[in-house]
Structure 1
Amino acid sequence: MTDLTPAPLLPVTDDVDTGGFFAAAARGELAIRVCSECRTDLHLPRENCPRCGAFSREWRAVPRTGTLYSWTVVEHQVHPAFPVPYTVVLVEVDDTDGVRLLGRIDGRPDLEIGQAMEVWFQQVGDVTLPQWRPAASQEESA
C-alpha cells in the first residue's frame, strides 16, 4: 500500500538572498538581512541597500517576538498538504524597522490586532520554518 499523504511545499533554502534566513532558523534563531554600511533592514532581502546603495549586507539576529499586524482564515483548501481551516498571520517583528513575516496557525485561533506573538520553529523534513503563535504570557492569562 502506498502513502497518500501529500508532500508539503517547501521553500528553497540555499538561495543567495534567503539562505541565511533558513540557516538561522535551523539554529533556532530569527534573522533578517541588513545593510552592513548603514544598518538598514533589508526586508525583503535584496542585492543592494535602497537607503545608501551599498552592496554589502549581512544577517542580523532579531527578537523572537512581534506584534500581530493582520491575519486571515483560509477556509478553501488550495493544496492537499494544507488542510483547512488554517490561519495565515502577518507579524511585525520587534526591534526592526517594520519588518513583517508570515506564519501559519492551524484552525481558527482567537486573535486580536496588536497582540503579542512569539516565533517557534517547525521542522518539516530537512527544512526549519519559523512560525508564529500568540505569546505564552497571553495564553496563560486567557
Structure 2
Amino acid sequence: MTATILPFDQDRDTAGFFQAAAEGRLVYKACDDCGHALHPPTDHCPHCGGAHTTWRDARGTGRLHSWTTVMHQIHPDYPAPYTLVVVELDEAPEVRLMGRLDGEPLLVPEMAMQVWFEPLGEGGPVLPQWKPA
C-alpha cells in the first residue's frame, strides 16, 4: 500500500517501536525495576516509579481483544470495508496493539493472532499489522 497518512516514527517515546518494526521485530516497553509492561511506552514506570525502562522483544503472537469493521470509506488510501483489530500480546496482555485487515474477515473473541510487517511506501515507516494465526 502507498499511504499518504503515515505515522510519525521519530517520537522520543515510540521511535524504538518503529525502528524495531523496520527490522522485522515487534517490541514493547517494560520496566526493568518491576517488570511491568508499559503501554503506551514511557521513560518512567507509573506502577513502581522506576526510571529504568527498555524495549523487549515480543514473540509476535497475541489474542484478539476487540474489532470493528469500517463500512464507509473516509480516505482514498483505505477502501472500505476494512476491519480494525485490537490484539493483546501473549507475553504482556496489558499491551494492546491495533492493526487493520482488509474486508470483513470472520473473527472470534480470543482468536490467536500473528504479527506481520507492512512497509508504508518507499522509505516510509514499517507498521506491525495482525492476521489470524
Instruction: Give the TM bin, normalised by the shorter chain.
Output: over 0.9
- Computing the radius of gyration over CA atoms, which structure comes out larger, 1 or 2? 1
The equivalent position to 2:83 in structure 1, one of 80, 87, 112, is 87
Give the number of aligned pairs: 130
Q: Which residue of 2 aligns with 1:139?
A: none
> Which residues in structure 2 correspond to 1:57-72 (within 5 Å)?
57-72=53-68
SS at structure 1 position matched to 2:38: coil
> Taking structure 1 as reference, are residues 120 and 7 closer, same or farther at Cα in structure 2, changes over 3 Å only?
closer
Letter in 1 for 2:4: P
C-alpha contact 2:3 2:120 (8 A) present in aligned 1: no
Q: Which residue of 1 aligns with 2:74?
A: 78
Q: Which residue of 1 aligns with 2:43?
A: 47
Q: Which residue of 1 aligns with 2:131?
A: 133
Give deviations 1:50-106, integer Å, cap 9, x for gaps.
Answer: 111122211000111101111000011122211100000011111114211000000
Q: TM-score, normalised by structure 1?
A: 0.87
Instruction: Give runs of ≥4 in structure 1 deviating > 3 Å.
Output: none
Name the CA distance, whole Å, in 1 between partners of 2:18 and 2:31. 18
Give deviations 1:101-134, integer Å, cap 9, x for gaps.
Answer: 0000000001111111000000112211000000
Name the CA distance, whole Å, in 1 between partners of 2:110 and 2:13. 30
Letter in 2 for 1:44: P
Structure 1 segments unaligned to the other structure (5+ residues): 1-5, 136-142
Letter in 2 for 1:128: V
Name the CA distance, whole Å, in 1 between partners of 2:104 and 2:37. 32
SS at structure 2 position matched to 1:20: helix
The equivalent position to 1:112 in structure 2, one of 102, 108, 111, is 108
Q: Which residue of 2 aligns with 1:138?
A: none
Which deviates more, 18-27 or 73-82? 73-82
Q: TM-score, normalised by structure 2?
A: 0.92
